[in-house]
Structure 1
Amino acid sequence: MAHIPKLRAPGTEALIFDMDGTMVDSMPWHARAWVEFGRRRGLAIDIPDFMRRTNGRTAFECACELMGREVSEAESAEITHQKESIYRELFGAEFREVAGFRAFARAAAARGLKTAVGTAGDKHNITFTMSLLALDPPPLAIVGGDEGLPGKPQPAIFLEAARRIGVSPSRCIVFEDAPFGIEAARRGGMQAVAICSSHSAEQLAGPHVIAAVRDYEELANSKFLETLDAVA
C-alpha cells in the first residue's frame, strides 16, 4: 500500500516519532483496555468514537472526554492509573513493534539523523514501551503527555521535541498513525510520514504528508532514508 512520492524532504535533520501505533502496534490493546476499564466501572463506552476523539490527546484530556466534564487532577490520575495498568498488562503479554521500526530507527541514526519521541503517553507508558523496545541508540529526547503541554492536534509536543534536540521544525519529519498527530505536525510546520497501522492513508492525508506506508519495512524497501540529506 506504500504511497511514496518522488519529491522528498531535502535538508532533513531529525525524525520525531509518535509512540503508540507508530513505534509500537499498541492501539488495539488501548481499545481493549478501555473496554475492560468500562466494564469495571460500569460505564458504557462507544470505543470507536472514543478512540477517534482521544487518539493523540493527553491522559487528562482523555479523562475529561470520558466523563464529559472537567475532571480534577486526582480523578484524572485515578482513571489514568487504572486504565493504563490494564493496558500494560494486556499489551505486555503480546508486545510488538510496528514492523521494521527498530531497524529503521537504527539506520536513521547511522545516517546522522537525530531522533526524538513526541507522545501523548505518560511517563509510565513511556518507560514501559522504551524498556521493551530497547532502542540502540536511544532517542535523543522524549516528550510525554504528562509534562503540562496540550495534546495533539496542538503542535506543542512535537515543537518541544524539536527544541530539545536543537533542530528547526522545518527540518523535522514527524511519523504519526493518527489524524490528530498528522494535524499537529502541520500546525508545527513539519512534514509528516503517515504510518497506516490504525488509520487509512486517506484519513492521514495532508499537503505536508510526504509518504503513507503500512510499516517501516515498506519505508526501508523504498530507500526512503537514502533520499534525505543527513550528514553522517
Structure 2
Amino acid sequence: MNLGSLPTQRFDAVILDLDNTLVDSQEALVAAFGSWAREYRISPDQLTGRAGWRTRDIVDAAIEKPRRAEALALIDELELTTTEGITAIPGAVEALSALHEVAAVATSSRRPVALARLAAAGLEPPRVMVSGEDVERGKPEPDAFLLAARRLDADPARCLVVEDAPAGVEAAHRAGMSALALTTSTPSADLDAEAVVTDLSEVSFTVGRDGVSITAPGFQLRSEA
C-alpha cells in the first residue's frame, strides 16, 4: 500500500470509475467480449491495451465501418445480459456511503450497462453518473471526469479520481485531478497514480467541513526528513 501524500490533502469530490473499481466485473467483461470477439473473428491481441476504453471506441478500433453499428448493438446486448458473478469490490459499499453527495461515477460503459452492473453488485448509483455516451471523447481523454466535476459543482483541482486502469489514471491527470489507483485489474507498476492500494477496503473516506479526507486503517503517513 502506498498512499503517498493523499492523507495530507482535502478534496471537494471523489469521482470513481465503475468496472473493477466499484464492481468486480472482470469475469463478466471477459465473457462478453470473448463471445463478441469470436463472432467477429477478432484476435485477443486486437483487444489488448483497451482497458478503460469506451465500448464504442473499442468497436471502432476493431471493426470495419460498415459493420460497426451491428457490432456495437451485439456487445451492448452481451454486456447487459452478462451480469452473473458481478459483485461489489471490497470497500465499495462503505466508500459510497461515506461520500454520499460528493461522489460521482464516471465510467466508459454505456449507462444501461453501468446501471445493470451496479444492480448486480447490490450498489445504489450515486446522484451523479457520467457514462460513455455522455462525452465526445473517452478515456484517456479527460472529458468524463471534467463533466462529473461540473455536475458536482467541484473544482477539478480539488477532485480525487479512483481508478483501476492506466487510461483512467491518465485521464484524471489530464483533467488536473489526483488519482488513487486500485490493483484490481492492473499491476501497480503500470499505474502512474499519486497513490496505489489493493482495493477500497484499504482506505476510508471522511467528509468534513474542510472537504474529503482519505486515511488507511493502521497506516501512518511517513514524515518527510
Instruction: State the AA in 2 paired with 1:46.
Output: P
Give ranges in structure 2 of 5+ residues lacking alignment.
214-225
> 1:55, CA displacement in angstroms?
1.9
* Equivalent residue, structure 1, for 2:218: none
Q: How many residues align?
A: 212
Mapped to 2, the partners of 1:19 and 1:155 lie a distance apart of 16
> 1:60 maps to which residue?
56
Q: Could you tell me how far 1:182 is from its partner in structure 2?
A: 0.2
Q: Kindly indicate whether residue 213 of structure 2 is the aligned counterpart of residue 215 of structure 1.
A: no
Task: Answer 1 or 2: which has greater strand percent.
Answer: 2
Shift in Å at residue 212 of structure 1?
0.7
Partner deviation per Cα, 1:201-224 (whole Å, 9 max, x = no partner): 11012xxx332111111113xxxx
Report the AA paired with residue 211 of structure 2.
A
1:190 to 177, 180, 183: 177
Question: What is the CA distance between 1:231 and its match in structure 2?
Answer: 7.0
Question: Partner residue of 1:45?
Answer: 43
Contact 1:19–1:119 under 8 Å retained in 2: yes
Q: For the aligned residues, what is the CA RMSD?
A: 2.4
| Residue 75 of structure 2: aligned partner | 83
Task: Work out the percentage of aligned pairs sharing the same amino acid.
Answer: 28
Q: 2:119 aligns with which of 114, 126, 131?
A: 131
The answer to whether the 8 A contact 1:31-1:51 is kept is: no
- Aligned AA for 1:168? D
What is the TM-score when the length of structure 2 is the normalising length? 0.84
Partner AA of 1:170 in structure 2: A
Residues 27, 85 of structure 2: 8 Å contact kept: no
* Aligned residue among 127, 130, 142 for 1:155: 142
Give me the TM-score of the superposition, normalised by structure 1. Answer: 0.82
Shift of 1:100: 1.4
TM alignment of 1:9-20, pairs within 5 A: 10-20=9-19
Equivalent in the alignment of 2:221 = none
Cα gap change, 1:31 to 1:172, in 2 (>3 Å): same
Give yes or no for contact 2:80–2:112 (8 Å, CA) kept in 1: no
